[in-house]
Structure 1
Amino acid sequence: MSSAIRRVTRALLFVAGVTALLAVAAPASAHGILSVVYADLSSGGPGVVHTQLQVEYDLFVVSAADAAKDDPLYRAGMDAFDAGDAEQQVAVLQAHRPAVSSYVTERFRIDAAGQECAPTLADDITMTQQDGVPYAVLGLDYACPPSENGHEVFSSLFPDAEGYVTDTKTILTYSLDLHEGSTVLDAEHPSFTTAQTPLERFWEFFRLGAEHLLTGIDHILFLLALIVGSRRLREVVIAATTFTLAHSVTFILAATGVVAAPPELVEPTIALSIAVVGAWYLWRLWRGGKVDQDLSHAHGFLRLDRAGWLRVGVVFLFGLVHGLGFASALGIDEPWSWTLLWSLLVFNVGIEAVQIGLIVVAFPLLVLLRRHYPRIGMWASGLLAVVVTVAGLVWFVQRVLGIE
């Protein structure tokens, strides 16, 4: 091994150590801790909007009791949660109906014709599960004045002062005012009107997909690992296309309930995929030392060597897992419909738009460095690969151990 390669190796090892220390101090989950609320709206008769809400039981009990441990609702609710007894959990909510109703109706509101609809909590409260987590199912009827402009829905359910979650996504489905569809409400976009045009609904899910990739640092690091490990434009295009096809398949299948995988398996595997793809490049650099200077243009766009096709296969397998992660983050758990499929496809288009933008910006810069400043290009590529690899390994360990 030449002295230049040895110097680069020492530098990379130093950066790896620093990065590991920084990554340990970072959250285990790149998405943060969030809660998902499910809301289904339909017509309950003239002037009535029937709403079914599904909320995480333990978080709901803590929040409705205002995180006061001496509150009877808090004590009884957590005892029922620890016991895992659905009947006991329902009994606790029924015994504290005023607190339950007050918390929900103050944070989930429906307006019509500029006036607030009057909510009534239904007598029946049941329990269900989402991804193995107990959820309380609440029915509410909102009496609304006549309106020609649809209904406007507001949700500010969680997070509250107790600070257990960083954000809440309310998955809203509706069949109301001659419209049907779905959307997602969160802290930045807490309201929605059923009078939305198809173009507005398109933009809503496109924005959600784009924001998810932009804020999902683990997915961005995976893409950067693909970029830094690609010597030619066709390599990054083939790798990115493979990743897109793979995650699109599992994203659609998981979001429509055809396939399912526990987050305890999906999230660590996503982290491991980041480390593997980053380490792949470091291994090639260690073995050859000249991979960054090899920018020749072979004939045939799909012409790759055996190692190149093996890399494509690995990317495809990990792409399938990333698709499950995308679906889990969106949190839709609704029956199949063409409206749902359309929303999911638009969400995926938003993801792809950001992915293409990242490739268009990052890969040409890396090529320019490698061609005109080969030493700087090698350093930049190696440092980026080290950061990606170490971050992936740290996240993998944290997610396996359940460290937040």
Structure 2
Amino acid sequence: MISASTTRTLVLLAGLLLLLFTANGALAHAVAEGDKGYIQEISGVHLLSFAYLGAKHMATGYDHILFLLGVIFFLYRMKQIALYVTLFAVGHSTTMLLGVYFNVGINSFLIDAIIGLSVVYKALDNMGAYQRWLGFQPNTKAATLIFGLFHGFGLSTKIIEYDISTDGLVPNLLAFNVGVEIGQLLALGAILIVMGYWRRSRGFWKHAYTANVAMMCAGFILIGMQLTGYFVS
């Protein structure tokens, strides 16, 4: 007989895999074809449009969601959650804005592989692997900020590939970034609701390790997909 706590855990793990395998395209940061065409065709200031695109990207970016899930997995106090999410947002925003403005791009397969690595890193951190392997705990705040920088480069690389117009570039990028943060808050809110429900169950601590193993596996799959794309492209 499967217990209620086990059922909830299985639902959570299925959700993680669903986020990964139902995403469109091999690249976590790929922009939908319709949005791509829109970005390429317009010029001038379009604040609402770019804010919408930013929110849509963040809310549907499964790599972002997996990393955020890992970051807040064992955080209970809103002050702590706000601190870590802010560090991620600062990193993400900095490289996205500067990368596009100064036309600094990185191979999209490689940057997305590093983003997959961020998911693996955080899952291992949650499992206490570094304390066992290294004898100390790496700085989690610094790791969140650093990986946030890579997540931002992932998006800036795709935007550069789509030749966004320089007319109205700065306000459009700022609007896009505002949208990204709105999408991040929406995704975070959904994660906190699910996690809050799961944490109240007796099976949370029993299955937390398994959930992070699943998260780690999803990260390795992301890495494998991107490296395969890099070598065969």
TM range (shorter): 0.7 to 0.9
In the alignment, structure 1 segments of 5+ residues that lack a partner are 1-7, 36-155, 157-166, 175-180, 183-200, 288-305
Task: Quickly say closer, same or farther: Cα 1:33–1:208, change in 2 above 3 A.
Answer: closer
Superposition map of 1:111-150 within 5 A: none
Question: Which among 35, 42, 47 is matched to residue 202 of structure 1?
Answer: 47
User: Relative to 1, partners in 2 of residues 1:348 and 1:326: Cα closer, same or farther, differing over 3 Å?
Assistant: same
Q: Assess if the C-alpha contact under 8 Å between 2:52 and 2:176 holds in 1.
A: yes
Look up the match of 1:314: 143
Is residue 356 of structure 1 aligned with residue 194 of structure 2? no
Is the Cα contact below 8 Å between 2:124 and 2:216 reproduced in 1?
A: yes
Q: Structure 1 CA distance, aligned partners of 2:207 and 2:25? A: 25
Shift of 1:380: 5.5
More helix by percentage: 2
Partner of 1:262: 107
1:28: how far off? 3.9
| Distance in 2 between residues matched to 1:172 and 1:378, nearest whole Å | 51
Match of 2:217 in 1: 390
Q: TM-score, normalised by structure 2?
A: 0.74
Deviation digits for residues 180-239 of structure 1 (CA, Å, limit 9, x no counterpart)? x15xxxxxxxxxxxxxxxxxx322111101111122211111111112142432222111
Q: 1:264 to 1:369 in 2, by over 3 A?
A: closer
CA contact (8 A) 2:58 2:183 kept: yes
Q: How does 1:3-402 map to 2 (within 5 A)?
A: 28-31=26-29, 168=37, 170-174=39-43, 181=44, 201-257=46-102, 259-283=104-128, 307=137, 310-331=139-160, 333=163, 339-370=168-199, 372-373=200-201, 375-379=202-206, 381-402=208-229
**Letter matched to residue 241 of structure 1:** T
Report if aligned partners of 1:206, 1:346 keep a CA contact under 8 Å in 2: yes
Q: Indicate how the Cα distance of structure 1 residues 224 and 246 shifts in structure 2: closer, same or farther if over 3 A, else same.
A: same
Q: How many residues align?
A: 212
Once the two structures are TM-superposed, the CA of residue 363 in structure 1 deviates from its matched residue by: 2.1
Judging changes above 3 Å, is the alpha-carbon distance between structure 1 residues 170 and 333 closer, same or farther for their aligned structure 2 residues?
A: closer
Q: Looking at CA atoms only, which structure, 1 or 2, has the larger radius of gyration? A: 1
Instruction: Give the share of equivalent positions with the same residue, in percent.
Output: 27
In structure 2, the CA distance between the partners of 1:315 and 1:359, relative to structure 1 (3 Å rule), is: same
CA contact 1:207–1:347 (8 Å) conserved in 2: yes
User: Structure 2, unaligned stretches of length 5 or more?
Assistant: 1-5
In terms of fraction of residues, the more strand-rich structure is 1
Q: State the alpha-carbon separation in 1 of the partners of residues 173 and 30 from structure 2.
A: 22
- Please state how far the C-alpha of 1:251 moved relative to its aligned partner: 0.5
Q: TM-score, normalised by structure 1?
A: 0.45
RMSD of aligned residue pairs (Cα, Å) = 3.6
